[in-house]
Every structure is written in C-alpha cells, then in structure tokens.
Structure 1
C-alpha cells in the first residue's frame, strides 16, 4: 500500500508540472504546522494543492471521515496521510489533532478552511482551534487557477484572537481565484472589499 501511495504522490507532482503549474514562495521551514489551502471551489483545486505539496516535498496529512477508514481503503488512506476523525465531534477533533501534533516530530496537517466546496458566509474555525490547541503556526497557501499558480503566503502564529489574526489572512487571499470563483467563501462575515482596502491601503 505504501508503494502505491508513493506512486500516486509522484504522479500528482509530475502532472502538476506537466500541466504548467508553478509554486511561488518559499518552502515552509517549520517541522509542524497547519496548512490552509483556499479557496477550494472544486476537487481540481484540491488536486492542485496536493501537486504543489509534492513539488515542495511536503509530507501532508489530512482529516478523513472515520467511516472511510475501513477495508479495502483504510491502508491506502493512511499511507496517503489520512487521519480518521468523527466529524460530528468537533471538540474531540481539536483534542485528537493536538495530541497528534504533540506525539510527532514532523506533522503537517492540511485543511480546507471553508469546510466545503460550496459558498459559505464565513470560514469554519476548526483549523484555527487546532493550531491554538497544538501551539503550532498556520501557513497560508492560495490558488490562482487561471494563472496555474499556487502561492505560499504568510505564516500566522495564532494569538487566540481569531478575528484579529484573520485580518492579515483575508488580505492575502484577496487575489485568490479558484476554478469556480462564485463558490469562494467569505473569510470573515463582516469583511467587505472596502474594509480590506483599509487594511491594505495602496500607497
């Protein structure tokens, strides 16, 4: 199973480059962090993020419904980086992931902050709560689908004040364009284009 997972990751990396995709920004140096990729407006956006991770030689882990981790998929999903969770128990997920970070020397957990490919009024806060509980930074990655570009952006050390920390994140994701832009979610419910202009004035 591990050989199959490695082959799949290698294939994703090759397809990423063959299709003309590029990665802009440095490879994150932290051994442990939460990686958020946005906006995930389609399955293709997620595939492109995985291709970028392979191009950067990042060994990602991701959350998956516990019901999927059964024979014959369980072994392959774990080899690909899957971590089984019961998504109906949000607090348990935060605690489980904090424990997972604590017991590993290297752990990169990737999460789609919207929690869905459909448009939402605001991002879910699970990724942030996990980073706070695990005391690890959050690395931002954005997609520009028309330009075939994945950008590695700012690293946020969460202060515990979600609204304040997400203001910097909101500015970074202004230029992000998924495959289906109309499905992109608002990061903060009260964030508007005018407010973002105030946060990031043009000199």
Structure 2
C-alpha cells in the first residue's frame, strides 16, 4: 500500500490523490490555517469508500470540507443539494467532484454514483448522513443504500467546532438493518459538536 503523509496529519492512499491547480491547494490550506482548523486521521487503502461527515449543522461545514479537499488534494466525489449548483458555479463545483442531488429522485442518484464507481475504479464518495443542515428528527437512509449498492464500508468523519478539528475516524459496516444502523451512528456522533449544536 502506498500512502502519503500530509502536513495536516492525515494519511492518504495515493489512489485517492489528484493533481489540481496549485492555487486551489493554496486557497484550501490558507483557509484552514487562518481559521485555526486542523485535520487528522487516516483514509484506508480500499478500492471504494463512502465517506460521511457529521454533525452537519451549518453552511460553514461545506466551506471547511471543501478547504480540506483542496488542501490535501483528495480526489473525492461529493453529493450536494442540487440547488447549490447555480448558474456560474456549476462547472466549478462539478470539476471539484460535485454531484447534484435531487432528494425526490434518490434512485437516479444511486445509479449515478454506481456508474462513477464503475468508471473510476478507486473512488471516494462524500456526503452528510443527515441529508440537511437543519435539525432532522429522522435521518434518511439513502447513504446506507448507497454503501450497500457500492458494496463498501463507510468511513466516519467528524467535524468538531470546539476543538476546530476534522477527523477521519473509523470504518462502519452497514448491517442491512437501516434503522438500527442510523441509531448507532447518531449515538456515535453525539460526542462531536457542530457549529449550531441545537440543529443536531
């Protein structure tokens, strides 16, 4: 296995690295540095991974998440609400791995993800398990269905505002019991605090 150790204390398999304009990397690194955020952990060297980041309570999560992706030069496809892909930025967001998601058309989203996984081989797919930054009493099970369809584990990533740390943590293997898995993950992420705690 070939890994690269980044300055942010994250170990990343070379298969998940990409070459982007150096300006992108500089912008991402500078934003994390100026705001005092740090990144830690390891991305396992597996062919396919679904990456979930929680708790998602603010648009700032997206900003810091993108800064991380740019800074570490991670090749990752991420799912975002279709409404953020507005005229003028759609091309940029897609070039950075963005996949527009219409929540009313979950089946096509899964098909799109599977098609990318088939085409790319080694692939990281990132999303928020809550499906919204507002308080969600009930999490949607789409991310579990995607992991099951991709036949891959889920890499749990936590964003914690008090410590200003984004950490790549452990692997979660879906059991097939979606409700049980969701309750397990909600309990796991209770140890981390989002920007707006009452939204989680």
**TM tier relative to shorter chain:** 0.7 to 0.9
**C-alpha deviations, 1:98-121, integer Å up to 9, x for none?**
222122122211111111111010
Match of 1:73 in 2: 89
- Of the structure 1 ranges 37-46 and 72-81, higher mean CA displacement relative to structure 2 is found in 72-81
1:20 equivalent in structure 2: 36
* One of 134, 137, 145 as aligned partner of 1:118: 134
Structure 2 counterpart of 1:176, from 182, 187, 192: 192
TM-score by length of 2: 0.77
Q: What residue is the counterpart of 1:109 in the other structure?
A: 125
Residue 153 (str. 1) matches residue 143 (str. 2): no
User: Which among 105, 113, 117 is matched to residue 89 of structure 1?
Assistant: 105
1:136-160 deviations in whole A, cap 9, x for unaligned? 2211111110110112222122232
CA RMSD, Structure 1 to Structure 2 (Å): 2.6
Q: For 2:141 and 2:30, how far apart are their aligned partners in 1?
A: 33
- Closer, same or farther in 2 for the Cα pair 1:71/1:140, shift >3 Å? same
Structure 2 stretches lacking a partner, 5+ long: 1-18
Distance apart, 1:12 and its partner CA: 1.9
Does the aligned pair in 1 maintain the 2:80–2:127 contact within 8 Å? no
Unaligned runs of at least 5 residues, structure 1: 185-203
- Partners in 2 of 1:66 and 1:116 — Cα distance? 12
- Relative to 1, partners in 2 of residues 1:68 and 1:42: Cα closer, same or farther, differing over 3 Å? closer
TM-score, normalised to structure 1's length? Answer: 0.76
2:114 alignment counterpart:
98
Matched, 1:62 2:48: no
The alpha-carbon distance between structure 1 residues 4 and 157, as it changes in their structure 2 partners (threshold 3 A), is closer
Which residue of the partner structure matches residue 68 of structure 2? 52
Using a 3 Å threshold, how does the CA distance of structure 1 residues 120 and 66 change in structure 2: closer, same or farther?
Answer: closer
Q: Distance in 2 between matches of 1:170 and 1:68?
A: 26
> Are 1:29 and 2:45 matched, yes or no?
yes
Counterpart for residue 153 of structure 2: 137
Structure with higher Rg: it is 1
Report how many aligned residue pairs link the two structures: 182
